[in-house]
Every structure is written in structure tokens, then in C-alpha cells.
Amino acid sequence: MMTINKKTKIILISIIVIFIIILGVSVFFIEFKKPIQVPAPQISAPQTPVSQISLLQINAGHWYTCAKLEGGRIKCWGSNVHGQLGDGTVTDHETAVLKPALVKGVQNVVQMSSNYAHACAVLNEGKIKCWGGNDYGQLGNETTINQPTPVVVEEINNAVQVSVGHSHTCALLDDGRIKCWGRNHYGQLGDGTTINRLSPVLVSGIDNALQVSASFAHVCARIDTGQVKCWGKNSIGQLGDGTIINRLSPVLVPGIDNANQIGVNLNQACAMLKTGQVKCWGGNFHNQLGNGTSIDSSIPVFVRDIDNATQLSVGGFHACIMTNDKRIKCWGHGLHGQLGNGATINQPIPVFVPEIDNALQISAGTHHTCAMIEGGSAKCWGSNLHGQLGDGTAIDRFVPVNVSAIQ
């Protein structure tokens, strides 16, 4: 049996002690280099989170767009050469440079309308305020001076809806009558004359209207029987009465007795029926009647491939509907991408706008189109020369882009 002398034992013990010391020092340095674990602070979520501004209505005009916001205020953006943005200036608010304009002096707005160079709003007390171009008295304040801030329309305190035409304006009153003012060269004021009016006059022969829609030089009204009456310019059959004779007072559009909504613009008109179908009449050079042809029609014709429309909007030479599943279809003039299908060609029958399946409202302007989306946001497409799409650029868009200007 092997024995270890005293000297050897001392050496072995010394080696073991040194090893233990070295091991302890190594562990200490490893632990020292580890990051100190500090408990994360507990941050509570705010009790009332700040939300984005929600839209309640959007309206695509000529080269500009307006939106009604929560609280009944209005903001507009795009062209402002006539003061149609309502902020007291005549400077373009291209959103790549400036923020959208808050229309001054209007609140508690219940409905608004915009078109070529002026806009109007119905307030909750039944009054109407208008702003922008006024060369024919279309602002209704008994002058022909442009107004970059809203002015009160004379002699109206019971309005429920307003519709802005090119150089005239019409209002639906709470008793079913209609008043119009501004240019009247083609009889578009419906008072039996061709005299321009600087303040509102009654449209003759209508006391049961449910909606009014004004355009370039003609106007249509939906009445409580489900029928439609139109008046004004009729050079291409846009009054739908089977003639091309201008009318100084309303005439009945044949073949429609179940209209649920109407829309008119430059030289055409359309009616959405209670069946979900749509009929249009008037000019068709740009396929805006949606019946697969380019032939004008002085009587209503069915728009093809539509049987589930829930909302209608008629633009310059195009039209759009919202379907019962919250999608959008458009047809007609497509040169500026206003149909939203990624192309720049006319479409003689309706085509779907991609990427939208949650629309709440549709508005077709002269060369662009906008939709209000669930959650209070909006998307626009088409011409963007003056920043009217609200995406912070002046680039035309052939498919929908988010409106960032009002957030």
C-alpha cells in the first residue's frame, strides 16, 4: 500500500487550496459581469386614450374635398382660388405643403355639399351658410362677391338638405318645398324664368320632395311617391323626359316610381331604386350611363350588373355606388383614375374598386372620388392636381389611398 509522506501531503493540500481560491475568484467575476436585473416600471394605460378625428361625411368637389368632422365642424383641402376652402384665404391648400383648412364660423353642421367653386352647409337650427365663388349670387347673400368665409343664406331657416351646383344652389326645406338661387340661364332655379337670383326663390310645383340634387345646369328632386322630377338644361336628355328641351319648371321623369336616392352632375342623372338597381339618363359619351354603350339616352336606362346598391353618387362624367356588402363599384370616365380600379380608361359597365370592403359613404367629384370608411377614416383616388386626395402629395392615384390630411 502506497503511503504519502508529510511533505507530499502539505503540497497536495496547498494545491487544493489554491484551486479553490482560483475557482471562487472566477465565479465572482462571472457574476459581477452579468447585467443588473432592474424590475421594469409598471406604467398604467391612460384612462381616456386620445383617438383620431372621425369623419361623419366626405364630399368630393371639383378640385377640392371637404369633410364633416365630429362636433359638426368642416375641414377642406385642395384648390382654393375662389375661397372655397372657407378659411378666409385664397391660397391652395395642397396637403404636401399645408394642412387642411378649418372652415371658419361653422359648427353644428348636419349636412354639407360642394361642387365647382363654392360649398354650403346646413346647420342644426335650419340655417344655411355658403362660401367660395359667387359670380352669379350662388351664395345666396344678395351679392356677387366671392366669400372666403361662410355667409348666411338669406330667408332660409328651415333647411334639411342643401345641394350645390356649378353656379347655383338648391335647398330642401322641412315642409317638402325647394328653394334655389344663383345662375338661372337654363331655368335651373325652377321658378319658371331664366332670371338669375341673388337670394332664394321657390321651385314651382313641388311640395313633397325628399331630396334635391343640383349639377352644372340642371336639378332633380326625389318626391315622396318614389318618382323623380327634373328641370333646367336638357340639351342631351339629362332631364330624362324623352326630349332635349330645356325646362324652366319641373317635369316628371317617366319609368321611375320607386327611387330611393338620386344624383346628378354635368350632363347626366341617376336614380337608385328600392330594388337595389340603378337607372341613369342623359349624356353617355364617356360611358357614364353604365349600360355598356356610349349612346346618349333621354329616358332612364338600367346600369348593368347592379342589383344590390345601397348608396349612389354621380361625378363629373362617372358614377359610383356602394353595395350592400360595403364594397364600391364605379363606371364611366376613367382618364384620371377616378374609377379606382388601377386603370385610366373609361368603363362602360361597373367595375369594383379594390381594397375597399368596409365603406360607409361614397362621394364622386369631377375627376376624383372619395369614400368614408368604417372607423371614421377615408380613402380617395383619381386626379390629385391640387392635393384634393388628401394624401400629402399632388400625384394622381389610380387606386384608393388613405386620406391623412385630417387626422
What are the residue boundaries of the structural domains of the chain, listed by start?
Answer: 55-402
Taking the C-alpha atoms of residue 17 and residue 69, their distance in angstroms, rounded to an integer, is 81
Strand order in the sheet with 168-173: 159-164, 168-173, 178-182, 197-202
User: What is the pLDDT confidence band of residue 392, given thresholds at 50, 70 and 90?
Assistant: confident
Q: What is the mean pLDDT of residues 20-39?
A: 39
> How much is the pLDDT for 50?
27
pLDDT at 37 over 70: no
* CA atoms lying within 13 Å on the CB side of residue 199: 6
pLDDT at 51 over 50: no
Query: SS3 letters for 225-255?
Result: CCCEEEEECCCCCCCCCCCCCCEEEEEECCC
338-356 residue pLDDT tens: 999 999 999 999 999 998 9
76-133 residue pLDDT tens: 999 999 999 999 999 877 654 467 889 999 999 999 999 999 999 999 999 999 999 9
Cα-flanking dihedrals φ and ψ of residue 283, to 5°? -70, 145
Mean of per-residue pLDDT scores for the chain: 89
Percent of the chain with pLDDT over 70: 85
Which CATH number is 55-402 given?
2.130.10.30
> How much is the pLDDT for 49?
30
Residue 138 to residues 39, 128, 134, 247: CA-CA distances in angstroms?
68, 12, 5, 20
> How much is the pLDDT for 43?
29
pLDDT at 33 over 80: no
Rounded to 5 degrees, what angle do the CA atoms 103, 104, 110 make? 60
DSSP 66: E
Rounded to 5 degrees, what angle do the CA atoms 101, 388, 132 make? 55
29 membership: H or E segment, kind and range: helix 6-33
Taking the C-alpha atoms of residue 179 and residue 189, their distance in angstroms, rounded to an integer, is 8
140-163 residue pLDDT tens: 999 999 999 999 999 999 999 999
User: What is the pLDDT confidence band of residue 32, given thresholds at 50, 70 and 90?
Assistant: very low
Nearest to 334 by CA among 319, 313, 322, 312: 319
pLDDT at 47 over 50: no
